[in-house]
Amino acid sequence: MNKTLLLLACLTLADIAPARAQGKVKIKTKKSSPVRPAKSEAATQPTPASTDLSVKYADLVSAERLRTHLAVLASDEYEGRETGTKGQHMAAAYITEQFKNAGLQGPVPNTADLYQQHFNVEQVTWAEGATLKVGNTSYAWLTDFYGLNDSPFTEETTVKPVFVGYGIEQPGYSDYAGLDVKGKDLLVVLGEPTSADGKAVLSTDGSPTKWGNDYRAKALVAAQKGARTVFFVSFNSTSNFAKQTARLTPYITRPSTVMVSDDKPSRAPAFFVSPAVGLQVLGTTDAAIQAYLAKIAAAKQPVPAPFKVKPMQIKAVRKRTTLDTQNVLGFLEGTDKKEDVIVISAHHDHLGIQDGKVFNGADDDGSGTTAIISMAEAFAQAKKEGHGPRRSLLFLSVTGEEKGLFGSEYYSKHPVFPLASTEVDLNVDMIGRTDPEHEGKADYVYVIGSDKLASELKVINEAQNKQYTQLDLDYRFDDPDDPNRFYYRSDHYNFAVNKVPVAFFFNGVHADYHQDTDEISKIQFDKMEKRARLVFHTAWELANRDGRIVVDSNKP
């Protein structure tokens, strides 16, 4: 489950010996070319009319089988499976071997390994020697200023920013009215206009709006206006720039991973400066800036700024290293409706090693990855015994989810099977634990997005649950106002934006989420088995029913 997408908005072992080293799991080696499995002798045997095939093959998705795969993927040997690193490549190799061993085909064209879809990402770090000067005063990196995202300042550059107040653009209120900021650098005040008692004046009930909650909304508008960069500053007396910077320093100094793309970034590169820097650039005092902001709050409208902006000199260089990474694809061809494709997805990457600690990500998303491997084995066995699905199935294990949904984004832009032929994506991300909301309650699973595009998908999933698994289906995260925004934070989303119906299966966050304590010893395999079987039953029904679900809704 991706945390990067909300990290800056919130700013916020039991050691498992490697399973292969213990001899618990042996990985067979086969040639890389895909093999169409021949029907086994069992395929010639008649199936009793009373046999429910969905149950027969769902039973192969067992706690024992899930544990076998997870013991490998969530072991220290895999070094936390960080995107583009040795551990992530090992995870991709393991998943590839399981798909081969099950008899799935590798569908990736024009490549030596038909099971792996390779692409490049970049590891980016801030170079030493960043500088900022206003007049004769020099300011220090990670003391008085820092940057996020990218930087155009590869050498010392003179910048005279355009001051645009709060940088807000909405009906009835625009800090950009009459301004042309294309190609320019902006100075923007963090937060939003508030009354003397701290209530937001741009909302109907005084609660904070997106402008006050998240700088990224302003960076997005700035990019849409064509700005080159945005320098953010807070003049809120309750904020503490030094404390905030110290808290963020480990994140800022850690290498980040980005997609290699020619696309223009959706948000303008952001820098953050201390109040002292902001006041000097504006050539004013704290009392004067507070009086100015109070006028805006009283008017509930932008007020012309009386400040004379001073230029500054800045240098902030980003170093880039290209890394190879890969999605893993296993394909099971259908029978009479084989042109329709059902995707079952999960992500195999996690957070790697940080401060010497291995973040094994047993739940996030070792649980989902092992679930789709086990489902692939079960569907492949059904086909070997003459009960293959009518529609084709693509088991898609993606990389880079934790970095920003990179693997699913790459697949959606370079689909092996046309997205128009892709009927649905069933995404499995974290199904091995219990969140605080459900401690001591009946077995459950959050289902997210199942009726946002195709109302029938939710109905089908509910019917399968009622017949087979009897889980409490929790839909609370479908609320468009839910602050967690989970619908946008896992790999199904890159299918949804392309109008492919989705359902996201999720157990919610817990104390070990994105911690080095997310270990296999804490996985509840009985719950994981039942959730994985629900996904299997839903996939079985979708793959074998007469009609294809249709896009008939457009819920936020």
Q: What is the DSSP string of 394-423?
A: EEEEES-HHHHSHHHHHHHHS-SS-GGGEE
Degrees, nearest 5: CA angle 429-433-439? 130
Binning the chain into helix, strand and coil, the percentages to the nearest 5 are 35, 20, 45
Q: CA 72, CA 370: separation in Å to the nearest integer?
A: 10
Q: Are 161 and 309 in contact (CB under 8 A)?
A: yes
Local structure of 346: helix, strand or coil = strand
Its sign, for the CA torsion 31, 390, 495, 10, is negative
pLDDT tens readout for residues 276-313: 999 999 999 999 999 999 999 999 999 999 999 999 99
| CATH number for the domain whose boundaries are 65-122+322-544 | 3.40.630.10
Its sign, for the CA torsion 458, 452, 415, 402, is negative
Local structure of 242: helix, strand or coil = helix
pLDDT tens digits for the chain (556 residues)?
A: 876 554 433 333 233 333 333 333 333 333 333 333 333 334 445 667 678 999 999 999 999 999 999 999 999 999 999 999 999 999 999 999 999 999 999 999 999 999 999 999 999 999 999 999 999 999 999 999 999 988 999 999 999 999 999 999 999 999 999 999 999 999 999 999 999 999 999 999 999 999 997 899 999 999 999 999 999 999 998 889 999 999 999 989 999 898 887 777 778 899 999 999 999 999 999 999 999 999 999 999 999 999 999 999 999 999 999 999 999 999 999 999 999 999 999 999 999 999 999 999 999 999 999 999 999 999 999 999 999 999 999 999 999 999 999 999 999 999 999 999 999 999 999 999 999 999 999 999 999 999 999 999 999 999 999 999 999 999 999 999 898 999 999 999 999 999 999 999 999 999 999 999 999 999 999 999 999 999 999 999 999 999 999 999 989 8
Question: Which CATH code of 3.55.40.10, 3.30.1280.10, 3.50.30.30, 3.40.50.1860 fits the domain covering 128-316?
Answer: 3.50.30.30
Q: What pLDDT score was predicted for residue 238?
A: 87
- Of 227, 211, 183, 181, give the one whose Cα is nearest residue 296: 211
Q: What pLDDT score was predicted for residue 45?
A: 52
Degrees, nearest 5: CA angle 267-273-279? 125
Q: CA 505, CA 461: separation in Å to the nearest integer?
A: 11
Q: Where are the domains of the chain?
A: 65-122+322-544, 128-316
Q: What pLDDT score was predicted for residue 112?
A: 92
CB crowding 294-331: b at 16 or more within 10 Å, else e: eebbeeeebeebeeeeeebebbbebeeeebebbbbbbb
Q: What pLDDT score was predicted for residue 481?
A: 87
pLDDT tens readout for residues 476-494: 999 998 989 999 999 999 9
In angstroms, how far is the first alpha carbon of the chain from the final one?
20
| Phi, psi values for residue 69, rounded to 5° | -70, -40
Q: Tokens at residue 370, please?
A: 């092992």
Q: Are 1 and 509 in contact (CB under 8 A)?
A: yes
Q: Tokens at residue 555, please?
A: 């819920």
Does the fold of domain 128-316 match that of domain 65-122+322-544? no
Q: What pLDDT score was predicted for residue 39?
A: 39
Residue 364 DSSP label: I
Q: What pLDDT score was predicted for residue 149?
A: 84
Q: What pLDDT score was predicted for residue 49?
A: 66
Q: At what angle do helices 525-544 and 368-384 cross, to 10 degrees?
A: 50
Degrees, nearest 5: CA angle 384-390-331? 60
Q: CA 317, CA 125: separation in Å to the nearest integer?
A: 9
Q: What pLDDT score was predicted for residue 232?
A: 98
Helix residue ranges per DSSP H, 465-546: 493-496, 525-544
Degrees, nearest 5: CA angle 96-104-375? 85
